[in-house]
Structure 1
């Protein structure tokens, strides 16, 4: 009996890559590329779908954020033997009450303080510039500049003139572009109105049936794919909920501590600067830099001693947040290196703007869960086709993970 002739698809390496399935996969990939090329040439047909997605994305994202924030409250009310529908109704009534109090009592004060800060901030900035200019001119560095005929006053005047011309040009362009921009304004306003109207309805059904959606999606998949998909969905849900809940709570704590600290040292616009610190702290690493810059400018104008007080307050806030608040609230659930966070923020911000900066980290966390599990499946397949047991991967039992 002659030995069976080995073909290209029966070699161990090709079998590891998938055998004949590899050929089918490459052909499928080629067909997908051709389809994408054809659809790119007729992309105008899908413009209504793009508009629909742009309209739906904002309310869905807002509803998901509120869902992850309110889901622990819903579970707590249900533990108290309150039916789910009544628990959701209680949450809505409490939310309406909080929003009403904010609009009637807090918002007018914040609006007045914020408008005053916007009007006076250019004066604060110019005073800092003049202070730095005087410091340079009276120092040895000023003598060095004079030695090389470097006129600092002329440079500052040029910068000021360029800023003025830029502002005037923008105003002129705004005047001539009102007609062309009114369509965009109406589109943006429509999106905001749709989001405000639809978010409560989407949130209601998420709170009511949100935990049933993964089970429904799993039933649509083949049985052998359900375990892996359920694991990925569970880990992604845990990552998103941990990040959103933790980041919001940390931001509130930072805002309260910064406001109290600024009020104690007597810094102008303490409440507005505290709210700014709370909002910007949602963005890791970059947020605190954005928040402390206007506070530092105002402190320098008030008095050099105020700047020292500001540094003390900010140091205490960052120490308490880093050593006590974040470890207790956030823990280490994301397992993302700080350098990776910075790269993700810069990349997502460049591609998607402000939404990318806000949603970049949870999006990366979900993508990391998916890629990690795909690599786990790859290791299982590798072990199946290797002869040397010493070269096998060590496979963790992911079913035992939290």
Structure 2
């Protein structure tokens, strides 16, 4: 290897390291602006609709922001008080839930001594569960500062979205102008596809979350599970994280139902499985259609990677990130090199059948 090649390799490694350190430092900021970009693309058709009716874009963006704030305020006034009441009731009743669960677990394990000894050395599995639950409740206050920071980030994102919606032309023009002329048409097509898929994801996520939350609330109420509204809202937010969110949202409901009775816990588990089946095979294809068309393995990979990079926000943004990268891959790499889609499909089927 010649000296110029060694120098280029060293510079490349150093550049990648500096880029890694830079991205690691500003990850939260990058994800904030990415969320602003997604929100702006989702709301842009509404601003366009208002602009066609002689309402300036800046005024339209402000109107949309005010409408969102009003909607959130109404939702807060209607939903938050009973949620807070149920949350306080849950905190008061949690020790009782876990004490009841402890006694049920202990009685069950008394029938299976070998299993009891394998699960825990001293056989006090229920006591350990109660202790763990108590630690979770006592640590809840530590998230107050995080919640305040999240509210500030949401307000900042809303303000930045207003600016992006009010004057999008300089942003889009600057992006298209930075692309070489021979790639400008592909870039324009990619941006249009990305905006369409982001809008489909936002609308589908909200609708799916609302339907799942309603079904969870209805089922939990009919089964007599306490804190049904709180658990339903947890199911709503769980829909924001594909694959893993619904599972996490189901765990508290099953545990609380187990404190009522093991049969109730079993029915709650059946309820959540049924809701997920209805969502996967009926609601998702009906609401989202084939616009995103992402493989479940791809979604799971991006959820894990984005979650590792930016926590919950990264996991929530995993699906639009996967959709955006898929569009860029198809427009700039796959289509120019593989115009014969049928031939690629035949080759893929031969590999699978081998």
Q: Assess same fold via TM > 0.5.
A: yes
- Tell me, yes or no, if the aligned pair for 2:42 and 2:198 is still in contact at 8 Å: no
* Contact 2:257-2:265 within 8 A present in 1 as well: yes
Q: Is the 8 A contact 1:59 1:194 kept in 2?
A: no
SS at match of 1:339: helix
Deviation by residue 1:358-389 (Cα, 9 ceiling, x = unmatched)? 12222122222222331333447xx9xxxxxx
Native 8 Å contact 1:214 1:233 kept in 2: no
1:332 has 2:290 as partner? yes
Q: Deviations over 1:90-118 (max 9, x none)?
A: 32332232233344443233223224324
Contact kept? 2:51, 2:57, Cα under 8 Å = yes
Aligned to 1:154, the other structure's residue is in SS state coil
Q: C-alpha displacement at 1:240, in angstroms?
A: 2.4
Deviations along 1:180-225, one digit per CA (max 9) or x if unpaired, are xxxxx99x79965763553233111222233663343212332112
CA distance in 2, matches of 1:193, 1:271: 22
Question: Does the alignment pair 1:108 with 2:84?
Answer: no
Q: Residues 151-190 of structure 1: matches in 2 within 5 Å?
A: 154-156=122-124, 160=128
Tell me if 1:201 matches 2:174. Answer: no
The question of whether the paired residues in 1 share the 8 Å contact of 2:36 and 2:158 is answered with yes
- CA 1:158–1:294: 2 relative to 1, 3 Å: closer
Alignment partner, residue 34 of structure 1 = 10
Give the TM-score taking structure 1 as reference length.
0.68
- TM-score of the aligned structures, taking structure 2 as reference length: 0.76
Do the aligned residues in 2 keep the contact of 1:77 with 1:87 (CA within 8 Å)? Answer: yes
Aligned partners of 1:333 and 1:69: how far apart in 2?
14
> Is the CA contact 1:259–1:274 (under 8 Å) kept in the aligned structure 2?
yes
Match of 1:237 in 2: 195
Shift of 1:268: 0.6
Separation (CA, whole Å) in 2 of partners of 1:78 and 1:309: 51
* C-alpha separation in 2, matches of 1:153 and 1:336: 45
* Aligned equivalents of 2:78, 2:148: Cα separation in 1: 28
Q: Which runs of 5+ in 2 are unaligned?
A: 346-354
Alpha-carbon separation, structure 1, partners of 2:286 and 2:4: 48
Equivalent residue pairs, number: 336
- The whole-number CA distance in structure 1 between the counterparts of 2:328 and 2:30 is 22
SS of the equivalent of 2:82 reads helix
- The 8 Å contact of residues 218 and 226 in structure 1, kept in 2 or not, is answered as yes
Q: 2:182 aligns with which of 203, 217, 224?
A: 224
Answer with 293-302 or 303-312: which moved more.
303-312
RMSD: 4.2
Matching of residue 375 in structure 1 with residue 351 in structure 2: no
- Distance in 2, Cα, partners of 1:189 & 1:307: 31
